[in-house]
Amino acid sequence: MKVEVLKDDGLYGEFILKNSNPAFANAWRRAMKSLVPVLAVDYVDFYMNSSFLYDEVIAHRIGLIPLKTDLDKFNLQNECVCGGEGCPNCQVSLRLNVEGPRTVYSGDFVSDDPETEPVFDSIPIIELYKGQQLMLEAVARLGFGREHAKFQPVSVCVYRILADVKIKDSCSSCLKCVEICPKNVFTVENNTVVVEDGFSCTLCRDCLRVCEENAIEISETDDFHFKVESVGQMNVREVAKRALEALKSKAEEMNTLMDEL
């Protein structure tokens, strides 16, 4: 197996997983969504809320704000030395004290840890009117995407199987495939149809349906084109790497179990 990176600008990445199989590609996709922990607010203490919204509604909105996550700095709460009670090794507090009239943004939070803060400063939380106040302490901890969507490090994580498109000699150059292909896989060169962009083929097989000579051959390859978009807590490369580590440790755990049988 090999990974070829096509695009990587931190928050968005595209890569090809080569010589693999659907089971592994899907396991990796699922691991990126649900086995890489990130920080999110899980508990909010309200000292004052005279806004128009209930505490629960505001707490839910705060929970969904992505927080910059350094996984080497925090423990999972159930694996922490504090035994899950909460300590600086496994949680971080963010404070908010705002008076209206004004809109409260994610950038208004003051974090106990300067490196753990909202990824984006401009996420609106609530609009306060004159005389209204919001004072609270939000406590963030690490969690997994399988617990709640707020702990998901990726907003998009998809793959498609790459196709191998071939044109046989029996092709009569009727050009029907060129017309019907929505991805412009085929083109005409010297009055013959050639495959110009096999990478874009989505395996829709429309060309096979219109080809009267049965001259097109399409098969699935062992390569998978991934598109991953991070929510912002960490970059795509780290999410992909941590997901692989999670899969590896699960496989090792399985091996140990098998040995014990």
| Smallest separation, CB 239 to Zn ion (Å) | 24
Residues 6 or more apart whose CB falls under 8 angstroms from that of 245 comprise none
Q: 101, 94 in Cβ contact below 8 A? A: no
Question: Measured from the CB atom, is 90 or 215 closer to Zn ion?
Answer: 90
Question: Measured from the CB atom, is 82 or 158 closer to Zn ion?
Answer: 82
Strands (E), 68-132: 91-99, 102-105, 110-111, 124-128
Q: 251, 31 in Cβ contact below 8 A? A: no
| Smallest separation, CB 79 to Zn ion (Å) | 9
| Smallest separation, CB 75 to Zn ion (Å) | 6
Question: What secondary structure letter does DSSP report for 261?
Answer: -
Residue 41 C-alpha from the chain's centroid? 19
Question: Measured from the CB atom, is 90 or 236 closer to Zn ion?
Answer: 90
Question: Measured from the CB atom, is 51 or 77 closer to Zn ion?
Answer: 77
User: How far, in Å, are 170, 177, 182, 236 from residue 211 at the CA level?
Assistant: 11, 7, 15, 41
Query: Which residues of this chain interact with Zn ion, rule CB under 5 A?
Result: 80, 82, 87, 89-90
| Smallest separation, CB 78 to Zn ion (Å) | 10
Question: Measured from the CB atom, is 46 or 144 closer to Zn ion?
Answer: 144
| Smallest separation, CB 74 to Zn ion (Å) | 9
